[in-house]
Each structure stands twice: as C-alpha cells, then as structure tokens.
Amino acid sequence: MSTRVQKKLNSGFNAKSEPSEILSGKDLSGKVAVVTGGYSGIGLETSRALAAAGAKVYVPVRTPEKAKENLKDVEGEVIVDAMDLADLASVRAYAASVAERESKLDLLINNAGIMACPEARVGNNWESQFGVNHLGHFVLTTELLPLLLNAGSARVVCLSSTAHLRSDILWDDVNFESTDYEKWTAYAQAKTANALFALGLDMKYRDQGLQAFAVHPGGILTPLQRHLPNEEMMALGWTDADGNLSEAVAALFKTTTQGCSTSLWAATSEDLAGTGGLYCEDCDVADLRDADATGFVGVAPWAVSEEGASKLWQLTEKMLAE
C-alpha cells in the first residue's frame, strides 16, 4: 500500500496554540474563504479568525437565523446563506450562488459534521454520517472546484478525527445495509473518508495549484457531542456526574479557539507550500502510526493510502450517479 509520506515539520506551534499565534503577521485581505459549520464550535472560531485577518468568509448553514445570531460579534466580512449537507440539491445551489458572486475561492474549510448519531438515512438511502460528513462535502468541493482552481494556490482543509483509528472504509457495506449499525464505527468510517478525500483531491489537482489537507482538531467539547448523553461521556471518561470534564481529560482537551488552530495552520502555513494530502494534528504534520501503536495520536496507514483515496473517489462518484 502506497501511503502519503507523513513527516513532522517542527512547526513551532503545539496542541494548545491559539489562532492569534497561527495567524500572527498574516494579512488575508483579498482572500475568499468558505467555512462549513462556521457558526458553531470550532467552526465559529475559524470564521472569526479568518475574518479578523481580513478574509471574506462565506458560512453555509442550515438555519441562517441562528447562525447570524452566533456570528453577530465577529469582526470582518461574513456572509451567511442556507445550505444543508444532507440535501445535495441545496449544496449545488449554494455553490452556484457563491460562483455568481466570486471569481475565485482561496480557502475551503470542510469543518461541519455530525457524530455518533442514531441511525438515519439521507439522499439515496445513504448512512447519514457518511452522507453528511463525506458525500455532502465531496459535492460542495467539486462544485466549487472552478473557483478553487481560479485562485491559483487554493487550499482545502477537511476535518477528520482521531476516531478514524477505529475503522477503515467499510468497502463492502458503506451504508450498513447488511451490517448492524454501530454509531462509532459509522463515524470512524466517515472520518477516514474525510482524510482520504483530502488526499484524493490533492492527488488530482495538485499540479493545478490546489493543495488539500486533512486535520484532526483535537478533543474539544462542542455541539458535535449533542447526540451523546452525559452518562455515555462519563463512561468514556470524559466528564463527571455534573457534566464537567474529568481532570485527566481537561488536561488533554482543547478550548474551541485552540481547536481551530490546526485548521488555520493547514490553511495558511508557508511551511506546507509544495506539499499536500497530509494528515495534520496539533499544528503540525502527524506521525504515521505503527501497527502496535497505542493512544490517540498519529494517523493510520489506511487514512493516507493513495490506493484507498483513488478507490474512495471512484466509489463516491458511483454512489452519486445512482
């Protein structure tokens, strides 16, 4: 299996670096960005940081009223319009609306997602976590490709997760049609898909100036956990009976601002120029995991497999054509 070479850059940043450190001295005036889920959790902080640095930030959302309320104190130019990643017609319409207003797109941060939710179906009977987290973003990105390529040096950042370590793509049963649904396996598969999509995108379009990166933002308590009751988070060792982070987890988890820093680093770091298809964490390139590795850092070989990236691209196009 051919894997994309993962090599730490010793970026000078760390797991708890703040957006102000990542973007210090950077002027993003004239840059155009799209941030999915850019009105909540780490997405909100991503939008805030990019806008503060001078970028025009588009935020596609399911509920514009709520998003505008959340974004009202963000300084800079932020444009909110409706889009639902589970509804591909709305995704295509949103991309078309951006193309009507912009001639280029410098940054696309595929940040939105759902996690460990009850079994549900979207689109053509697709499992919802794969459908929303991967297929929705695949369609958005490919619809925006002309704008990305027009920028000449655009970057796409796809948010993955350490959860990808739990599972490769379930190649024979992506939609849990013959396998019993298990929410964490479904989430893991979707996060592996996000990483492989970044690699596949980079493989296809790097020669045209487009770079793509996968990012594990770190452990952060955000609305992403809305499907997890506190009893389950207690069982995972995350919280106590009152919903507060356990002491051990509090030392590891990041704030929402720290949680967006790796996305910002992947989107703007000069150290990444001429590279792409990499899986990043803690504001640096992640290490490739050995078969006997433990813990929750590093990237599994299947998530940076060039064969896997090509296979997923073909599978995705087939699913979307059906």
Active-site residue identified among 39, 187, 205, 279: 187
**How far is the C-alpha of 198 from the C-alpha of 159, rounded, in Å?**
9
Beta partners for residue 81, in sequence order: 60
The C-alpha atoms of residue 123 and residue 129 are separated, in whole angstroms, by 12
Contacts of 212 (CB under 8 A, 6+ apart): 155, 156, 157, 158, 197, 198, 199, 201, 202, 205, 276, 277
Name beta bridge partners: 70. Answer: none
CA distance 262 to 321: 34
Name the catalytic one among 40, 128, 160, 261: 160
Residue in 191, 254, 263, 279 annotated catalytic? 191
Q: H or E element: which one contains 102?
A: none
Known catalytic residue: 181?
no
Beta-carbon contacts of 180 under 8 Å, excluding residues fewer than 6 positions away, are none
Residues 6+ apart with CB under 8 A from 201: 141, 156, 158, 210, 212
**Is 160 among the catalytic positions?**
yes
Between CA 95 and CA 296 the distance in angstroms is: 35
Report the DSSP beta bridge partners of residue 57: 33, 78
- Per-residue b or e along 101-113, where b marks 16 or more CB atoms closer than 10 Å to that residue's CB: ebeebbbbbbbbb
191 is catalytic: yes
CA distance 281 to 270: 16
Q: In which order are the strands placed within the sheet that holds 284-285?
A: 78-82, 56-61, 32-35, 107-110, 155-159, 211-216, 278-281, 284-285
* Cα–Cα distance measured from residue 44 to residue 26, given in angstroms and rounded to the nearest whole number: 19
**How many Cβ atoms are within 10 Å of 231's Cβ, its own excluded?**
10
Secondary structure (3-state) at 214:
strand
Active site (catalytic) residues: 160, 187, 191
